[in-house]
Amino acid sequence: MNHDPTETRLRELTWRRELTDAERDELRSWLAKHPKAQTDWDADEQLSAILSGLPEAPVSSNFTARVVQSAKREAATRSRKPSTRWNWWLRSLLPKMALVAIVISAVFYTFRTYETAQRKEMVRSLVAVSQVESLPSPKSLEDFEAIRRLGRTPPVDNELLALMQ
């Protein structure tokens, strides 16, 4: 970007009209100090010459009225737009809150389904126990260790088997 005020002023003048002799001399002296800018100036002069040869674009008779009407409509639209605080709410926070609500609902539904399944299983086991006509007495469970040992067989004694053969 050019920051030289002389170059900027001369460039804007060439866009609007042809330079005077004094302005051309000023441009030549400036280009002598800045030789790298010569190609940009040449391209700019060629473009200006091409553009000046183009015919003027036709403008409709109600152009000004349409521009003013469009500006008024745009100003009215801006005044009706919601505040930035509500825009932030709608664009950022509301979708996140909806996602959290969906996750919480899914967790609650899953927990309730699990809890219901557990209750049904408990009811089934209570029904099965209630249908049994007699349960073992607590007296028989006192000797549980002896009953448990009855089901076991001792390990095979290989020496005894060898002697018996």
- Predicted local confidence at residue 117, as pLDDT: 96
Q: Read off the pLDDT of each residue in 18-25 and give the average, rounded to a whole number.
A: 86
Contact of 13 with 23, CB cutoff 8 Å:
yes
- Predicted local confidence at residue 84, as pLDDT: 62
Q: Read off the pLDDT of each residue in 22-45 and give the average, rounded to a whole number.
A: 86
Q: Read off the pLDDT of each residue in 82-99 and give the average, rounded to a whole number.
A: 75
Residue 86 scores a pLDDT above 70:
no
Round the average pLDDT of the chain to a whole number and report it.
Answer: 83
Residue 127 scores a pLDDT above 80:
yes
Contact of 37 with 27, CB cutoff 8 Å:
no
| Most confident residue range from 21-25, 92-96, 133-137 | 21-25
User: Judging by beta carbons within 10 Å of its beta carbon (0-12, 13-18, 19+), is residue 147 exposed, middle or buried?
Assistant: exposed
